[in-house]
Amino acid sequence: MPEISWEDFEKVDVRVGTVVEAESFPEARKPSIKLVVDFGPEVGNRRTSAQLTAYYDPEGLVGRQVVAVVNFPPKRIAGFESEVLVLGVPDGIGEVVLLSPDYGVPPGGRMF
């Protein structure tokens, strides 16, 4: 695994946000969900899509806190502009499990 410097790590802006909208994304190549996530007043609302359909449905994601990288450039996915990368890890069969804080924190809280 390649090493990175502390300065490289500090460039990655990882924040907590609250999902305020979620809907199915049938146009995506792999089953996905479109999300609008509130990252507080400094970052605002950002859109993304994520392959979360194994364990999550759109209705159950609204109000949930997630962890995301907010300073990647936007990426087009099936005509949809994804503005952040919501973070998750694969379970034992490769399905995505979201990273989230154990306790509620204000939207926009930056990881350190």
For the chain, the domains span: 6-98
- What confidence score (pLDDT) does residue 103 get? 95
Percent of the chain topping pLDDT 70: 100
pLDDT-based confidence at residue 9 (cuts at 50, 70, 90): very high
**Which CATH number applies to 6-98?**
2.40.50.140
H or E stretch at 9: helix 6-11
DSSP reduced 3-state for 58:
helix
pLDDT per residue over 55-105, tens digit each? Answer: 999 999 999 999 999 999 999 988 899 999 999 999 999 999 999 999 999
pTM across the whole model: 0.93
**Exposure string for 29-57, b = 16+ CB within 10 A, e = fewer:** eeebbbbbbbbbeebeebebbbbbbeebe
